[in-house]
Amino acid sequence: MEKILLMGNPNTGKSVVFNRLTGARVTVSNYPGTTVDFTKGWMKLEGKTVELIDVPGAFSLEPKDKAEEVAVKMLEEEKEAVVICLIDSSKAERGLYLTLEIIERGYPVVVALNMADVADSKNIMIDAEKLEQILGVPVVCTVAVSGEGIKELASRIKEATPVKIEKISKNASG
């Protein structure tokens, strides 16, 4: 694993997680031929330097605007990357749609249920262990602004492996 893509809906805290993981060792670039920005940085993972890319926010892999077009293109260009799918815990159903699309395409995924504090304040409870069992991918609760869960997120990246979609269907029904 040499690259990690940080993907999720807009305003889920991707940039805060990115800064926590990289220590803000970053460069901001425009995707070639566009004015859409993405941020690239580096982090240490098991003694190796790994590139982390903060992909523009997207709601699905069927692009409806330039930012989503860039997000899909970046995902397609990085077939070997691990994807951290960042989900706003207070609006989990939105983020799960994109996450399932990425899993269906065969990428190794780790889910970060971010903004767990916001969900908690709205009495929204997500059983992260059950969600992990259903999806077949690591799921970590995070509060990026305080740093809660970030170390666990980084440590679970190595567990990301592609999942067969049939397995998700079986896990959801069983």
Does 26 have pLDDT greater than 70? no
Instruction: Tell me what the mean pLDDT of segment 107-115 comes to.
Output: 97
> Higher confidence at residue 1 or residue 143?
143
Distance of CA 87 to the CA centre of its chain: 7
> What is the C-alpha separation between 52 and 90, in angstroms, rounded?
25
Structural domain containing residue 143: 3-173
Residue 167, CA distances (Å) to 112, 123, 135 in order: 20, 30, 8
CATH number for the domain harbouring residue 151: 3.40.50.300
| DSSP H stretches of helix in 13-164 | 14-22, 66-77, 92-104, 116-121, 128-135, 150-156
Residue 24: predicted pLDDT: 72
Is residue 167 scored above 70 in pLDDT?
Answer: no
Ranking 1-15, 83-97, 132-146 by mean pLDDT, the lowest is 1-15
Q: Is 159 helix (H, G, I), strand (E, B) or coil?
A: helix
Burial grade of 32 (CB within 10 A; 0-12, 13-18, 19 or more): exposed
Q: Whole-angstrom Cα distance, residue 38 to residue 159?
A: 26
Q: Is residue 149 over pLDDT 90?
A: yes
| Mean pLDDT for the stretch of residues 60-84 | 94
Structural domains of the chain, count: 1
Mean residue pLDDT across the chain? 89
The overall pTM is greater than 0.75: yes
Count of residues making up the chain: 174
CB 21 within 8 A of CB 150: yes
